[in-house]
Amino acid sequence: MSWRSRSTVSGSSATSSVTSDPTRSPVDDATAARASARRRSLVVLSLGQVLGGIGFGSTISLGALITERITGDEALAGWPTAAVTLGAAAMAVPLAALAQRAGRRPSLALGMATALGGVAFIVGGAAGASFPLLLIGFALLGAGQAANLQSRFAATDLATDRTRGRDLSLVVWSTTIGAVLGPNLVGPGEELGDALGMPVFTGAYLFTAVAQILAIVLYASALRPDPLVLARRGANAAAPGGNAERLDRPRLAAFAVAGIACSHAVMVAVMAMTPLHLVHHGAELSVVGLTISLHVAGMYALSPVFGVLADRLGRVVTVLLGQGLLAAALIVGAAGAASSSSVTIALVLLGLGWSAATVSGSALLTEASSPERRPRRQGRSDAIMNLVGAAGAIAAGGVLGLIGYAGLSLAALVVVAVVIVWATTLRAPGARAATRRSASQPS
C-alpha cells in the first residue's frame, strides 16, 4: 500500500493517524491517550455523581422525619444522618484501599452496591418500626456517600497541576442535578409509595434504589480505562506537570483534612436539624423539600467557581472564604430562626461555604500528598470528615432540644473559628506555591 493510500485509510482511525505521523513520539502518543482517558473519566464520574446525588437528597430530607415517627423522640432525629456519615466513614478507608489495589472502578461500584442494600433495610425498618434496623440501613447507604466523595478524588487521577482544581470541581458540580432533584421526589415518591402500600416517608427510596442500580452499571461498564490504574502505569510521569516529582507536605495536608472535616461537621449539624425545625414551625413538606434543594444547590452548583478561585487565589485563601460563608449562614440562621425565608437563605449560604472549603481543601490535600501516600490519605480524610460529621449530627439533636435552632447555629460558630485560627498559622507563600507553579505549566 502506498503512502497516499495509507494516509487516506488512517483518516477513519485515530490510532492509525497517530502511528503514521513520523513527527509524533511515544511520549506524544501517551500524552494524547492520557488526555482522552481523562475526558472520558470526567464524563463517567459526572454521570455517576448525578445518580448518587438522587439518593443523597432523599436520605437527608426524610431521615429525621422517619425517625421521629417511629420513635417519638426528637433527640434521636439526627441519628439517621449520623448513621449515614458513620457508614461513609467506615467505608472510606476500605474503598480507598480497594482503589489502591484494583482501581477506582471496582471501588466505586462496590460503594453503590452496598448503598443499594441499605435501601432495603431502611424500608424494612420503617415497616417494622425498628429503629436499629433503620440505622443499619442508613449506615449501609453511607457507602454510596463514600463512593460519591471518592469520585472527586478520582477526577484528579489523570489531571495535570493546572487542571486539577477545575476537574475536581466539575465532578462535584455534577452532583447538583441529582441532589436537587432528590428532595423534590419526596412528594411523587409518597404518592407512589402509598399506591404500593409502602410505609410513610419511604416511597422516595424507590427512586434511590433505581439510581443506585444505574450507578453500579455505569461504573462497572464505562469507567474504562480505570483512571487510577492508568495513572500508575507511568502516564502521569510522561504528562505535563511532573506530578510524580511533587514533595509531600504533611503540615498543609493536615490543615486540609481539618478544614474539610470541620466545615462538613458544621454543615451536617445544622442541615440535619433544619427539616425538623421547619416542620415544627408549621412548614409543609414541599417547603422543606425546596429548602433542602436550594441548600444542596448551594453545595454543588457553584463548585467550579470555587475551583477556579482556589487555582487563582490559593487553596488556603479559598478555604477561608468558605469559613466566611459558613459564619454568615450561622448568623443569619440564628437571627431568623423563626422565619422560613431566613432559614432558607441560611441553608443556601451554608451550602456555599461547604462547597468552597471542600473543593479547595480537597485540591490542597491532593497537592500536599506525595503520589504513594495520596489514595490512603484521601480515604482517611473522608473517614475523618464523616466521623466528625456524625458527631455533629448526633450532638445537634440534643442541642436543638436544649437551646433551639438559633442556639445550635451560634454553637457551630466555634468550629468555624477553629479553622480560621489554624489558617493564620500557615505561611501564605508556602501554601500558594503549588498554585503559582501550576499556573506557569501548560494544560
Question: What pLDDT is stored for residue 236 in this prediction?
Answer: 44
Is residue 310 within 8 A of residue 382, CB to CB? The reply is no
**Listed residue (407, 301, 295) closest to 346, CA to CA:** 295
CA dihedral 86, 229, 257, 395 (to 10 degrees): -10
pLDDT one-digit tens code per residue, 111-138: 999 999 999 999 999 999 999 999 999 9
Question: What pLDDT is stored for residue 301 in this prediction?
Answer: 83
**Listed residue (356, 369, 151, 99) closest to 254, CA to CA:** 369
Question: What pLDDT is stored for residue 417 in this prediction?
Answer: 95
Question: What pLDDT is stored for residue 165 in this prediction?
Answer: 81
Q: What are the grid coordinates assigned to 86, written together?
A: 458513620
Q: Does the predicted TM-score (pTM) go above 0.85?
A: no
Tell me, what DSSP letter sits at residue 233?
I
pLDDT one-digit tens code per residue, 136-183: 999 999 999 899 989 999 998 888 777 788 889 999 888 778 766 777
Question: What pLDDT is stored for residue 5 in this prediction?
Answer: 37
The C-alpha cell 457553584 sits at 302
Number of H helices, E strands in the chain: 18, 0
Q: Which domains does the chain have, with CATH numbers?
A: 41-234+248-439 (1.20.1250.20)
CB atoms within 10 A of CB 46: 18
Q: What are the grid coordinates assigned to 22, written together?
A: 513520523
